[in-house]
Amino acid sequence: MSKMSELDLCIGELRNAAQSLTAVADSLSTLFDNSDNTEPEAKAPPSETKAKPVTLEQVRAVLAEKSRSGHTADVRDLLQKHGASKLSEIDPTKFEVLLEEASAIGLGEGEDE
């Protein structure tokens, strides 16, 4: 029975050693992935480096709201400015700029009242 206990103890120590080696390997991998930086912490967090792309649904929601607010002609002009007669014809890489421009539609109106 004592030999089995020793064997169980050795197996446990081997597993702990394997976990430690895996952690060291992961740390080294991270260090070498950041080799272009002097410090591993110098790499910007992913949320800052890669913004989520603007989706068709986001642009459609803003354009629909502007249209319901009485700016249908402005929405149509904006789409034509980007070379399309409807939103689905616009290149998704242009959605961010389109969203910014669409958000500006109707701003500044009514300030003279």
pLDDT digits (tens, 9 = 90+) for 40-92: 455 555 555 567 888 889 999 999 999 999 999 999 999 999 999 988 899 99
Residues 32 and 64 in one domain: no
Distances (CA, A) of 77 to 91, 103, 104: 17, 14, 13
pLDDT at 37 over 60: no
- Per the domain annotation, does 75 fall within a domain? yes
- Per the domain annotation, does 111 fall within a domain? no
pLDDT at 94 over 80: yes
Domain span at residue 62? 56-104
pLDDT at 111 over 50: no
Closest CA to 98 of 78, 83, 71: 78
Q: How many domains does the chain have?
A: 2
CB 22 within 8 A of CB 29: no
Q: Please state the pTM of the whole predicted model.
A: 0.52
Residues 39 and 60 in one domain: no
Question: If you compute the radius of gyration of the chain from its CA atoms, what whole number of angstroms results?
Answer: 29
- Per the domain annotation, does 60 fall within a domain? yes
pLDDT tens-digit readout, 5-23:
888 888 878 887 888 788 7
Which element (helix H / strand E) includes 74? helix 72-81
Residues 24-47, mean pLDDT to the nearest whole number: 65
- Per the domain annotation, does 95 fall within a domain? yes
Task: Give the pLDDT of residue 75.
Answer: 92
